[in-house]
Structure 1
Amino acid sequence: MKSKLWFLSSLLYCLCTRAQLPERLQVTADGHYLQYANGQPFFWLGDTGWELFHRLDTAEIKYYLGNRARKGFTVIQAVVLAEFDGLRKPNRYGQLPLLNENPATPNNAYFTLIDSTISWAMQRGMYIGLLPTWGDKVTKLWGEGPVVFDTTNAYGYGKWIGNRYRNHKNIIWILGGDRPAVNDSGDWRPIWRAMARGIKEGTAGQCIIAYHPSGGTNSTSQWLQQESWLDIHMFQSGHGSGHDVACWELVRRDRQYLPAKPTLDAEPNYEDHPVNPWPKWNPDNGYFRDYDVRKQLYRSVFAGACGVTYGHHAVWQFMSAREEAVNYPDRGWMNALDRPGAFQAGYLRRLIAIHGALNRLPDLSLILSGQGEGGGHMEAFRDAAGTYLMVYLPIGKSLQVNTAVIKSAQLNCWWFNPRNAERTSIGMVKQTSAVTLVPPATGVGNDWVLVVEAHP
């Protein structure tokens, strides 16, 4: 029996949006997830608003934040020294971030808009994933630059900006800015290390820090695992390698490192982004749509990530008539805010909240038959207490599930539809250790989550 969309959405929204303003975040004791300082679970549902401070005015920022808050987003990833000529092109109020392009002389007038944005996000229950700079200001490689940082001024800038926001509890610091920390051209870890040290000193240690790398199979775990300042691993499965990049394998790899640190895909394929490989990126092969996005969001989270970031190709750049389009967006940013994938990202967070975000144990052994490859690859997790399990099926098909992990003679089984948040009850199923089930609709485009729960 199908429950109505409005009923499930309302119920789950209440479950995952408690009436509390953001507070300091911390890594859980097992090292894999994030929680509030009071021990309540925190699920990272991010949106890439990279050019937020650089391209929008106050009314537009409030409109954007309100839209994302209503959909259940918890983190907005935005850049202080922006990618697109961020040192030389002023914000909407005619202000540049640095005087004479010098990190030692920040322009206070530019930062007042950032101050306000952080407060507006707080009022809406959201965190700002704050990038002090885009990576081309540390190592150009590509982009506009210019490179302005060395170890000395990176430390000074980090300490200055850390001190400015030391009393703001809703900041997650993100270094990197779409650049590797190390490659064949050089090793920039000393600069990032200096900036991180400055942030830690400026905030009196009251900070949590991640690093956003460039796209591909690299993760911060490969360069920064032993860096004491790094709290959260990130990778970017990205938009440059076609469909179904194995983001779940990157999560699995990161979870094996010790000491354990949370990990997440901080930039999967953007909704409405051209599919063609980088650097061509033209529309000849079509665009990633909501189905492509859902598959990546669900599979990385079900593989054990502490959350995931959604992104839209027009929104990250805030494409409008006053900006030059980057890589063929097919609509403007305001038109893009309510695309299907943005709603569906919120459904994922709400689904996870039903049983809590902190007790998830990824476990592919739950899938006894029906597993696929690439676009058909399934992911599954359970809890240690044996009360429930979930399996994500990117393609609707028959599967056999190992239910022996559920400590109950009777199983409550149901299907969750990631496209619209509808719930379809299968009913009570007798525990037989191996249960075969078929979703309500099958084939490509019909993805599902199977939920199996112990009967009270």
Structure 2
Amino acid sequence: MSLNIAENQRSFTKEDKPFFYLADTVWSVFTNATIEEWSDYLDYRKMQGFNVLQINMLRQWDASESDLNLQPFALLENGDFDYHTLNEAYFDRAEIMLKMAVERGFVPALVLLWCNYVPDTWAEMFQKGNKMPFECVEPYVTYVVNRFSPFDPIFLVSGDSDFPTERANSYYLKALDIVQQLSPASLTTLHIQGRLREIPPAFEKHKGLGFYMYQSGHNSQFQHVAHEIAQHFYHKSDIRPVINGEPCYEQISYSRNVYGRYTALDARKAAWQSLLAGGGAGITYGAHGIWSWHKKGKKFGIVEGEGFDSPYDWRTALRFEGAWDYSFIKYLFEMYNLIGIKPLDIVLNKTEEIRAAGNENTLILYVPVNTKVRLSINVQDYKFTTIDLAGKRFAQTDVSVQKDQSVLDMHSFESDVVIIGTK
């Protein structure tokens, strides 16, 4: 059963029930993971409650080194792809892997054209050749859609893409048109470059585009865009669900070779701020070692890419604590009926870091650093609970109300919290 857009255009449904999009980033599994590894991975993420898997249909340009030597196309003498000749064995294996995922209840989200396969994109500075000829886009996309649409996937038409020229855009438009023509029930989106907040009108107005996906990314100077871009897309005149499809990955280093790595707290903060600022349809998690499917002793950074420090072995990365934080987010959103929740401008504190959202019966606040929270509304009809996100502990919450304003006192925890008020 394929995913659908809810009536309010702000979230998803599956089998007529609200669906919280909780994805993991596994771009490189088709080229790097053995079938046995894939099975173990799927079982673990299923246990945690993940329900979407974001996968690159082709070879991820900055994947870790692999012994499997799996290529989606035949190779030319110089090592470039012969885009006119599909490697059927590669796609046979991908079909087996998708069948395993779907049988466990996952929705595949398949990237059709990562930016390095398209001319003129920002990837050109790192990889000038080996681009897909435009005449190969239609047969390739047609093949993929016809072969894999029975798995009810989401199609991510682009991967990490800017939209620099008409030539580059024509690749993505052609792919989007083909998906809509051949599999109109399939949801589509664009996985766009980090911090990008505008897509060309040809895509924004395209009736085949199902939802907005952005990435707040891995640059340590710009983590505030997690909530800024969510808010931006939420207020678009063409209303669609909004997903942060690539917040900072847990334990990935800061991009541009800056020293430091993102912790579980950093990843959690990016998630909550995205969700409450307009991206309330769901969220994507990433672990540094899973997305590139890294194995200890193998090379990383074969393509220079954005300058990241070494990943963890995928088996270690699979068990990072932050994935449980994201699992807990899904649990709370389902338990409190928060899916697709509306952002609210009710926080009087002089910071954008504290986020608020609500629906008819519930208010929710994310407070990354402990302080009194001042609200511009009277909340005397609500009963509040403070949830310690590091320890998963629930506490009663004191609130004072004066006229049309309210104050939630400091809590007793030492990390970030969400405060949920119910009528």
Q: Does 1:228 align with 2:228?
A: no
Give the conservation status (yes or no) of the 8 Å contact 1:95–1:110. Answer: yes
Give the conservation status (yes or no) of the 8 Å contact 1:175–1:192. Answer: yes
State the 1:425 CA deviation.
2.3
Inter-partner Cα distance in structure 2 for 1:114 and 1:234 = 24
State the 1:199 CA deviation.
2.4
Cα 1:311–1:359, aligned 2, differ >3 Å: closer, same or farther?
A: closer
User: Which residue number corresponds to residue 206 of structure 1?
Assistant: 185
Give the conservation status (yes or no) of the 8 Å contact 1:221–1:233. Answer: no
SS in structure 2 of the partner of residue 128 of structure 1 = strand
1:404-446 Cα shifts (integer Å, max 9, x gaps) = 4x6xx6432111122232211237988975332224336xx61
User: Which residue number corresponds to residue 99 of structure 1?
Assistant: 74
How many aligned positions are there? 408
Counterpart AA for 1:116: I
1:87-134 Cα shifts (integer Å, max 9, x gaps) = xx9976544211343444322211122112212211222111111232
Inter-partner Cα distance in structure 2 for 1:288 and 1:85 = 19
Give the conservation status (yes or no) of the 8 Å contact 2:155–2:186. Answer: yes
Q: Does 1:73 align with 2:50?
A: yes
User: Which residue number corresponds to residue 412 of structure 1?
Assistant: 383
**Which of 129, 152, 158 in structure 1 is aligned with 2:141?**
158
**Which of 25, 30, 40 in structure 1 is aligned with 2:3?**
25
User: Which residue number corresponds to residue 84 of structure 1?
Assistant: 61
Give the conservation status (yes or no) of the 8 Å contact 1:33–1:262. Answer: yes
User: Which residue number corresponds to residue 298 of structure 1?
Assistant: 272
TM-score when normalising by structure 2: 0.88
Counterpart AA for 1:84: W
State the 1:142 CA deviation.
3.9
State the 1:250 CA deviation.
0.8
Cα 1:432–1:268, aligned 2, differ >3 Å: closer, same or farther?
A: same
Inter-partner Cα distance in structure 1 for 2:317 and 2:73 = 31
Cα 1:162–1:290, aligned 2, differ >3 Å: closer, same or farther?
A: same
Cα 1:116–1:90, aligned 2, differ >3 Å: closer, same or farther?
A: farther
Inter-partner Cα distance in structure 2 for 1:58 and 1:242 = 38
TM-score when normalising by structure 1: 0.82
**Which of 333, 337, 340 in structure 2 is aligned with 1:356?**
337
State the 1:323 CA deviation.
2.6
Counterpart AA for 1:73: F
Inter-partner Cα distance in structure 2 for 1:74 and 1:47 = 8
SS in structure 2 of the partner of residue 76 of structure 1 = strand
SS in structure 1 of the partner of residue 89 of structure 2 = helix
Cα 1:47–1:234, aligned 2, differ >3 Å: closer, same or farther?
A: same
Give the conservation status (yes or no) of the 8 Å contact 1:415–1:439. Answer: no
Give the conservation status (yes or no) of the 8 Å contact 2:384–2:397. Answer: yes
Inter-partner Cα distance in structure 1 for 2:154 and 2:59 = 17
Q: Does 1:189 align with 2:169?
A: yes
Give the conservation status (yes or no) of the 8 Å contact 1:398–1:438. Answer: yes
Counterpart AA for 2:190: Y
Identity rate of aligned residues, in percent?
A: 20
Inter-partner Cα distance in structure 2 for 1:137 and 1:422 = 46
Inter-partner Cα distance in structure 2 for 1:145 and 1:49 = 25
Inter-partner Cα distance in structure 1 for 2:176 and 2:23 = 22
Give the conservation status (yes or no) of the 8 Å contact 2:382–2:421. Answer: yes
SS in structure 1 of the partner of residue 124 of structure 2 = coil
User: Which residue number corresponds to residue 304 of structure 2?
Assistant: none
Inter-partner Cα distance in structure 1 for 2:158 and 2:289 = 22
Cα 1:371–1:424, aligned 2, differ >3 Å: closer, same or farther?
A: farther
User: Which residue number corresponds to residue 288 of structure 2?
Assistant: 313
SS in structure 2 of the partner of residue 159 of structure 1 = helix
Q: Does 1:34 align with 2:12?
A: yes
State the 1:48 CA deviation.
1.1
1:234-272 Cα shifts (integer Å, max 9, x gaps) = 211111243632221111111222221122211111111
Alignment of 1:291-440 (within 5 A): 291-305=265-279, 306-321=281-296, 323-326=298-301, 327-329=308-310, 331-358=312-339, 360-365=341-346, 367=347, 369-373=348-352, 377-383=353-359, 385=360, 387-402=361-376, 404=378, 410-426=381-397, 433-440=404-411
SS in structure 2 of the partner of residue 167 of structure 1 = helix
State the 1:381 CA deviation.
0.8
SS in structure 1 of the partner of residue 368 of structure 2 = strand
Counterpart AA for 2:287: H
Inter-partner Cα distance in structure 1 for 2:186 and 2:128 = 27
Counterpart AA for 2:24: D
Inter-partner Cα distance in structure 2 for 1:244 and 1:317 = 22
Give the conservation status (yes or no) of the 8 Å contact 1:388–1:453. Answer: yes
Inter-partner Cα distance in structure 1 for 2:167 and 2:229 = 22
Provide the aligned C-alpha RMSD in A.
2.6
Q: Does 1:447 align with 2:421?
A: no
Inter-partner Cα distance in structure 2 for 1:248 and 1:90 = 34
